[in-house]
Chain A
Amino acid sequence: MNYLGKDVELKVVGTRPIRPDGVEKVIGRAAFGADFSVAGMIHGKVLRSPHAHARIKSIDTSKAEALKGVKAVITANDLPNIPSEEAFVGEGPANFRDMSLNTIARDKVLYDGHAVAAVAATSPSIAEEAVRLIKVEYEVLPNVIDVEEAMRPDAPVLHEDLFTQGVDPKPTKASNIAKRMEFKLGDSASAFAKADVVVERKYKTAPVHQAYIEPHACVVSYGADGQAQVWCSSQGQFMVRAYCAKLLGMDIADIRVFPLEIGGGFGGKTLVYLEPLALALSRKSGKPVKMTMSREEVFRGSGPTSGGAINVKIGATKNGRIVAAECEVMLQAGAFPGSPIGPALMTPFAMYDLSDVTIWGYDVVSNRPKVAAYRAPGAPVSTFATESAVDELAKQLGMDPLELRLINAAKDGTKAVYGPTLKDIGFVETLEAAKSSPHWNSPLGEAAPGKLRGRGIASGFWFNIGGESSGATYVNEDGTITVVSGNPDIGGSRASMGMMAAEVLGMDVKDVRTVVGDTTSVGFSFLTGGSRVTFATGMAVTQSAEMVRDELCKRAALLWEIPSEAVEWKDGKAYPAGENAGKFDPLSVADIAAKSARTGGPITGKASINAQGAGPGYATHICDLEVDEETGHTTVLRYTAIQDVGKAIHPSYVEGQLQGGAVQGIGWALNEEYVYTKDGRLDNAGFLDYRIPVASDLPMIETILVEVPNPRHPFGVKGVGEPPIVPPMAAVANAMENATGVRMGSLPMSPPRIRAALDAAKG
């Protein structure tokens, strides 16, 4: 697809129109998952395991079934026992059998909160009562929560048929290590000999939840004819359709999924949890079924992202050139294989031009909820470690950490450790923008007595993806435009789709309305994830709008009875061009639409593509913070997120993405963690004790958008949603070290840990 941005004066792209989804959300009328109802619907509830690891000996549902108002009770036996089959899920590989077993346990429960049975009844309270009446007999097994403990030879084994892939010879004994992976460039082991300074340290991060405000919710109706309808909020209506079909043993054509407004996903809604259970309950009861998770269920039963243990070794010469790097990443997958170990290994050195690197890692199961994608899956974990190490290296070299990054920065032509040669990247530009930013050039300011202040900087990388996408542009009878996108809008894509179409058509964006289509009203689109929608679906929508524009020219030519080549489209109107110039009055979209019946019927453009050429995103963040020495409490004083975004279609949304990513990363750095009891139960399944930042915790996050266009997108777009969560943990840790002199290798840097580290440093 041609890059249009260079020689064309953009009139819509790059402006900040009022957000199209704003009013309904602000007045509270937008229909999210739990807001939807259909006539005659009943209510489903899930029975969840109280044990971290146990064999299910028996399930007695008779009392629940006998309760008045109960219409259906299901266990795993009501769903097909499907064979092992690799699937592409969200942003990492997974297996349909595992997905089925994660949706409802069959022989074993593998984590506290694992679904065991479900009930549908005429009211939510009857369903809850019925859940209490189900009697499950468990044989409790030893459990393992921590990733490193799960790797030990004597650890309790979750899956008797799990043998480590990627090692030679293939193991004969089952273990919790699902896979070993490695990426290698040059020869790091011998290259360390060239280093004057070597930094080596171990790091650890806690699993964190995406903490979307909207809990999972759906309404499903399984018809007597075997056709089903699903209304839910998710990151992909086609994803929900495909997974439900697989897990229920249905044909894809028999399921229609209607996407509802989504209240945050961040990767965590790239899976199904309730929908297959609701379908089974609806099939059994013959009634539509509504299911919603409580916040506690969201924490216990849906996927966080991985925690990890990381060993880093980096060596550099006296003048700051990094000559060798090694990194080992042990990534926790939750109860089933499929942590984002691949991206965790591919990303953390992609900011640098290195010749000798080895990075390897392990995908490890333990008795926790199966992980789900979370913004740049895997990258924040490994990058926290490597960017902390780079900071430590700068300190040992006596260099400015920003200068050290500039010396080693990846540029066009740099070969990344994971294979490709990078092009059209803007990492150096983010560093330069940081260097000249108001933040970097302002003094840190004096701390009050008993407080310590510091500044830190860190960078990050994320690939961004393209993939299969569909979009359509329809000319309405009055000349307004309807754009249909195949992707749920979680970051402002209705605005960006409409703006790109308006730009192509030369129209005012208020005359272009974008809707997210259901699975039968637009072509297939891969889910909303990988920071792909404005790039890939935007490309499809742009193509569909171009088809409409070309068709409008043809229709004008027919009306004028001149060749269509002699028509020019300008500012939303058809003009006769060449020798016909000035012979006819220009025709607007409305003029042409009014006469479309006479020129061939409705005017429509549809594009279904597999978008290639996504441009990677680079981010650099600066953090100022203050630590209370006596309580270990950290206050972030100032924070700036700088990112190469290619081209910001609607800059306010893009800034919002940067701010949101930074805030989630700061929460990850400072307070968020899962707390388990000794017997493997989650002890903080709620927002009271799972501490995401509240608004008063943070300053306004400053943003700087760097625009190095991606020439493979019509307007130069690069994905923006994921890179901003990659640098924050190291930016905060580096600021912490700058403030206190203590290097925090473990996340979260919560007050008790800070106070203990400060006390230990004092001796």
Chain B
Amino acid sequence: MYSPTFAAPQSIDEAVRMLGADGAKPLSGGTDLIVQLKSGRNRPAAVVDLKKIPGLVGIEETADGFVIGAATAGAQLGEHARLVAAYPGIVEGAELIGSTQVQGRASLAGNLCNASPAADSVPCLAAAGAIAVVAGPNGEREMKVSDVPAGPGRTNLAKGEFIKSFKLKKPAAHSADAYLRFIPRTEMDIAVVGAGVNITRDGANGPIKSATVWLGAVAPTIVEVDASCIIGTSLDDATLAKLDAAAQSVCNPIDDKRGTIEYRTKVAGVLARRAASIAFKRAGER
């Protein structure tokens, strides 16, 4: 009979050792893993809860920016006023995951490592250039968040590795991010398309100095949009049309129960435009 072991190590080393065993799975918030266990879709031999390791839960503001514990729940991100002010898009993405109850558990690392192309917190983390600090048998290493997903349900983490924390640099002046997703309902759903945009303006009223745009749910992993067309502009209609086209051009979606290729591609353009406009406005307000 299927009966997985459960352990909650107190240290990184202990966790690394446990996760080195065959069939071991890390548990963060568990809002994906527990559901998969119940449905029988995922049957790991061992479940290793990382939340008891010091530093895995919590947000620290440093001179360089923020260090967010990998298992920090979405609700905690939303309650951190400084983080919300610095990265409103990352937080709004994380806060779209699940219900109020799920928000008390669902974490950034879980969202990233579940490796769904539709993960709501990932496009803005990628757009912000967030770094994942990875612990493993060979010690620590740093990866760009955008390099973590390998495909649906797969990551580029090696056996025994897990994410310990995320590092976000201190935002530049007049910069802000925004995340939009499309779902048929208003909540409790999974993105048909997601768009995360991070924009820095040249002064509060200035044009765009730099921009990164990432899309979710339109390819096997998140994909980056070539945002060069909006640099130096203030997002006039012609520019937004170019961004729309640029977004559509990187889409490689599938037809499935949540949307068609045609629909996802069109809406990717729409959301890229809309998220860029929100980020642009926010960037001007700071």
In the bound complex, CA of A218 to CA of B260 (Å)? 40
In the bound complex, CA of A752 to CA of B192 (Å)? 10
- Does any Cβ of B come within 8 Å of A126's Cβ? yes
Which residues of A sit under 8 angstroms from B257, Cβ to Cβ? 675, 683-684, 689
B185–A631 CB distance below 8 A: no
Given the known interface contacts A752-B263, A756-B262, the answer about A296 and B185 at a Cβ–Cβ threshold of 8 Å is no
- Does any Cβ of A come within 8 Å of B186's Cβ? yes
Type the 1/0 row for B264-281, where 1 means its CB is closer than 8 Å to any CB of A. 001100100000000000
A691–B262 CB distance below 8 A: no
Which residues of A sit under 8 angstroms from B192, Cβ to Cβ? 751
- Does any Cβ of A come within 8 Å of B39's Cβ? yes
In the bound complex, CA of A600 to CA of B189 (Å)? 65
B184–A694 CB distance below 8 A: no
- Does any Cβ of B come within 8 Å of A190's Cβ? no
Type the 1/0 row for A673-698, where 1 means its CB is closer than 8 Å to any CB of B. 00100000001100011010110110
Which residues of B sit under 8 angstroms from A675, Cβ to Cβ? 257
A688–B1 CB distance below 8 A: no
Which residues of A sit under 8 angstroms from B259, Cβ to Cβ? 752
B2–A129 CB distance below 8 A: yes
A129–B1 CB distance below 8 A: yes
- Does any Cβ of B come within 8 Å of A630's Cβ? yes
B2–A697 CB distance below 8 A: no
In the bound complex, CA of A633 to CA of B267 (Å)? 11
- Does any Cβ of B come within 8 Å of A750's Cβ? yes
B182's partner among A125, A296, A631, A759 (CB-CB below 8 A) is A631
Give A726 Cβ to nearest chain B Cβ, in Å: 24
Type the 1/0 row for A278-296, where 1 means its CB is closer than 8 Å to any CB of B. 0000000000000000001
In the bound complex, CA of A230 to CA of B117 (Å)? 47
- Does any Cβ of A come within 8 Å of B147's Cβ? no
Residue from B40, B188, B260, B263 having most chain A Cβ neighbours under 10 A:
B263
- Does any Cβ of A come within 8 Å of B56's Cβ? no
In the bound complex, CA of A689 to CA of B39 (Å)? 15
- Does any Cβ of A come within 8 Å of B190's Cβ? yes
B185–A751 CB distance below 8 A: no
- Does any Cβ of B come within 8 Å of A671's Cβ? yes
Residues 170-195 of B at the A interface (beta carbon under 8 Å)? 182, 184-190, 192
Which residues of B sit under 8 angstroms from A632, Cβ to Cβ? 263
Give A667 Cβ to nearest chain B Cβ, in Å: 10
- Does any Cβ of B come within 8 Å of A638's Cβ? no
A694–B187 CB distance below 8 A: yes
Chain A interface size band reads 20 to 34
B186–A630 CB distance below 8 A: no
A755's partner among B185, B187, B188, B266 (CB-CB below 8 A) is B266
> From A671, which residue of chain B is reached at the shortest CB distance?
B184
Given the known interface contacts A125-B2, A126-B1, A684-B257, the answer about A691 and B267 at a Cβ–Cβ threshold of 8 Å is no
- Does any Cβ of A come within 8 Å of B258's Cβ? yes
A689–B258 CB distance below 8 A: yes
B189–A688 CB distance below 8 A: yes
Which residues of B sit under 8 angstroms from A670, Cβ to Cβ? 184
A694–B185 CB distance below 8 A: yes
In the bound complex, CA of A683 to CA of B260 (Å)? 15
> From B257, which residue of chain A is reached at the shortest CB distance?
A675
Given the known interface contacts A296-B39, A631-B270, A756-B263, the answer about A697 and B258 at a Cβ–Cβ threshold of 8 Å is no
In the bound complex, CA of A684 to CA of B260 (Å)? 15
B184's partner among A129, A296, A751, A756 (CB-CB below 8 A) is A751
Which residues of B sit under 8 angstroms from A756, Cβ to Cβ? 262-263
Which residues of A sit under 8 angstroms from B267, Cβ to Cβ? 630-631, 755
A633–B184 CB distance below 8 A: yes
In the bound complex, CA of A706 to CA of B39 (Å)? 47
Give B184 Cβ to nearest chain A Cβ, in Å: 5
Give B54 Cβ to nearest chain A Cβ, in Å: 34
Which residues of B sit under 8 angstroms from A693, Cβ to Cβ? 185
Which residues of A sit under 8 angstroms from B258, Cβ to Cβ? 689
A671–B185 CB distance below 8 A: yes
Which residues of A sit under 8 angstroms from B190, Cβ to Cβ? 688-689
In the bound complex, CA of A128 to CA of B37 (Å)? 13
> From A129, which residue of chain B is reached at the shortest CB distance?
B1
Residues 1-34 of B at the A interface (beta carbon under 8 Å)? 1-3
Give A635 Cβ to nearest chain B Cβ, in Å: 8
In the bound complex, CA of A263 to CA of B189 (Å)? 23
Give B260 Cβ to nearest chain A Cβ, in Å: 5
Give B246 Cβ to nearest chain A Cβ, in Å: 17
In the bound complex, CA of A631 to CA of B270 (Å)? 8
> From A667, which residue of chain B is reached at the shortest CB distance?
B185
B260's partner among A671, A688, A752 (CB-CB below 8 A) is A752
B2–A751 CB distance below 8 A: no
A751–B187 CB distance below 8 A: no
Give B274 Cβ to nearest chain A Cβ, in Å: 8
Which residues of B sit under 8 angstroms from A752, Cβ to Cβ? 259-260, 262-263
Give A302 Cβ to nearest chain B Cβ, in Å: 18
> From A296, which residue of chain B is reached at the shortest CB distance?
B39
> From B267, which residue of chain A is reached at the shortest CB distance?
A631
In the bound complex, CA of A67 to CA of B1 (Å)? 9
Which residues of A sit under 8 angstroms from B184, Cβ to Cβ? 633, 670-671, 691, 750-751
A633's partner among B2, B40, B182, B266 (CB-CB below 8 A) is B182
Give B45 Cβ to nearest chain A Cβ, in Å: 16
In the bound complex, CA of A631 to CA of B40 (Å)? 35
A694–B188 CB distance below 8 A: yes
Shortest Cβ-Cβ A-B pairs, 7 listed: A752-B263, A675-B257, A630-B270, A696-B186, A129-B1, A684-B257, A697-B186
Task: Identify 7 residue pairs between A and B in the complex whose beta-carbon atoms are under 8 Å apart, listed by A's number.
Answer: A630-B266, A630-B270, A631-B270, A694-B185, A696-B186, A697-B186, A751-B263
Instruction: Taking A631-B267, A697-B185 as given, write out 19 further A-B residue pairs in contact, using a Cβ cutoff of 8 Å, ordered by the A residue number.
Output: A125-B1, A631-B182, A633-B182, A670-B184, A671-B184, A683-B257, A684-B257, A688-B189, A689-B190, A689-B257, A689-B258, A691-B184, A691-B185, A693-B185, A694-B188, A752-B259, A752-B263, A755-B263, A759-B266
